[in-house]
């Protein structure tokens, strides 16, 4: 028995791939079947279509559903609306997140850093729904923001903002501005943490070297710090962008009556039973993300990695 164990241990030491594979097989199966497999099957449905009369799914390969998606102006509106909001949320998160991440990476003591980490993560530990509903109350006409503007006699300012076409609305809680605020709030940690990690890896000596070579703070920021933090910003933006593209709860609770991709998917696969169209809608964020990452890579965003 001992002998057998012995030769097994010798064998596995010499054949490292064997041990490696035996540990990896379960996670690989999980990733391959449960994760990617089901996703691919679902997305594959976008190449089937719904029979107009019977309401049954026709399991034949065709582009009918995809053509339907892109030929309907209402659907195009949904896609543009969602992608535009996701882009705004991403840019907003980056603008708010970068200074915080920079401060955490370069200026804090270890104790303050841990405190800030917890402060940033803390909201993630409470329920997403609770937080979104709280925002509904905060942004509502009777909410604290309105109250605040009233007290400062700045109602006219809020009214001016809300009367802006497209992004305005009857109140913050029923407008794109409100959605932008809530999305930015909800996804901000996913932007801060990758940027912080990438800035943490920029040695201070590089910043000193830049100053030493005559670059002032602004030049150092644009030529050294920003390019080196770019992989982190891209990583963060992949989170905020894709999470916004797929979300349906915030548009449902905060938004106007106009649909976003997530809501479209939810309705089509649920009540309407149009799984092919739901699948076609879900295909869009994935394609957008692939294109986005490809462009980022071509522009050299990952060169500093």
The residues in 103-122 that bind other proteins, with binding defined as CB under 8 A, are none
Pick from 43, 167, 215, 243 the residue near other proteins by CB under 8 A.
215
Tokens of 116: 């800030």
The residues in 222-241 that bind other proteins, with binding defined as CB under 8 A, are 223-224, 227-228
151 vs 218, beta carbon nearer other proteins: 218
Question: By the 8 A CB rule, do 149 and 155 touch?
Answer: yes
14 vs 111, beta carbon nearer other proteins: 111
Interface mask (CB under 8 A) for other proteins, residues 131-170, using x and -? ----------------------------------------
DSSP annotation string for 41-77 = HHHHGGGSEE-TTT-PEE-S--SHHHHHHHH-HHHHH
Site for other proteins contains 210 (CB under 8 A): yes
What are the percentages of helix, strand and coil residues in the chain, rounded to 5?
75, 0, 20
Question: By the 8 A CB rule, do 187 and 132 touch?
Answer: no
113 vs 211, beta carbon nearer other proteins: 211
Pick from 57, 286, 293, 304 the residue near other proteins by CB under 8 A.
304
Residue in 233, 225, 230 with CA at minimum distance from that of residue 208: 225
Site for other proteins contains 274 (CB under 8 A): no
In the complex, minimum distance from the CB of residue 183 to other proteins, in angstroms, rounded to a whole number = 31
Q: Return d(Cα 141, Cα 226) in angstroms, integer.
A: 40
Number of H-type helices and E-type strands within the chain: 16, 2
153 vs 205, beta carbon nearer other proteins: 205
Q: Return d(Cα 200, Cα 160) in angstroms, integer.
A: 42
Question: By the 8 A CB rule, do 144 and 153 touch?
Answer: no
Pick from 73, 213, 271, 287 the residue near other proteins by CB under 8 A.
213
198 vs 269, beta carbon nearer other proteins: 198
Site for other proteins contains 219 (CB under 8 A): yes
Q: Return d(Cα 189, Cα 50) in angstroms, integer.
A: 40
**Distant-in-sequence, close-in-space partners of 79: CB < 8 Å, separation ≥ 6:** 261, 284
In the complex, minimum distance from the CB of residue 204 to other proteins, in angstroms, rounded to a whole number = 9
163 vs 216, beta carbon nearer other proteins: 216
> CB under 8 A: which stretch of 27-35, 45-53, 164-172, 218-226 binds other proteins?
218-226
In the complex, minimum distance from the CB of residue 207 to other proteins, in angstroms, rounded to a whole number = 9
Question: By the 8 A CB rule, do 89 and 183 touch?
Answer: yes
Pick from 3, 56, 163, 205 the residue near other proteins by CB under 8 A.
205
Site for other proteins contains 299 (CB under 8 A): no
Q: Return d(Cα 104, Cα 116) in angstroms, integer.
A: 7
Binding-site ranges for other proteins (CB under 8 A): 203, 205-206, 208-216, 219, 223-224, 227-228, 303-304
């Amino acid at each position: 028995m001992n002998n057998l164990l012995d030769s097994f241990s010798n064998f596995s030491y010499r054949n490292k791939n064997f041990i490696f594979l035996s540990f990896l097989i379960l996670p690989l199966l999980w990733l391959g079947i449960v994760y990617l497999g089901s996703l691919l099957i679902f997305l594959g449905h976008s190449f089937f279509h719904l029979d107009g009369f019977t309401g049954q799914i026709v399991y034949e390969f065709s582009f009918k559903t995809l053509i339907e998606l892109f030929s309907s102006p209402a659907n195009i509106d949904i896609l543009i609306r969602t992608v535009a909001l996701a882009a705004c949320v991403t840019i907003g998160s980056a603008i708010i997140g970068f200074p915080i991440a920079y401060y955490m990476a370069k200026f804090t003591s270890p104790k303050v850093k841990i405190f800030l980490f917890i402060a940033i993560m803390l909201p993630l530990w409470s329920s997403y729904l609770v937080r979104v509903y709280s925002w509904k109350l905060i942004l509502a006409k009777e909410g604290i923001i309105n109250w605040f503007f009233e007290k400062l006699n700045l109602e006219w300012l809020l009214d001016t903002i809300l009367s802006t076409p497209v992004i305005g609305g009857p109140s913050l809680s029923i407008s794109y501005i409100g959605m932008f605020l809530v999305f930015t709030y909800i996804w901000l940690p996913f932007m801060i943490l990758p940027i912080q990690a990438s800035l943490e890896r920029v040695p201070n000596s590089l910043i000193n070297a830049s100053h030493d070579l005559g670059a002032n703070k602004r030049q150092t920021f644009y030529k050294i710090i920003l390019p080196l933090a770019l992989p982190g910003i891209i990583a963060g933006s992949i989170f905020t962008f894709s999470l916004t593209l797929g979300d349906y709860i915030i548009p449902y609770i905060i938004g106007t009556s106009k649909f976003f991709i997530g809501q479209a998917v939810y309705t089509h696969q649920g009540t309407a039973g149009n799984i092919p169209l739901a699948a076609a809608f879900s295909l869009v964020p994935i394609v957008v993300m692939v294109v986005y990452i490809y462009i980022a890579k071509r522009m050299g965003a990952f060169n500093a990695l």
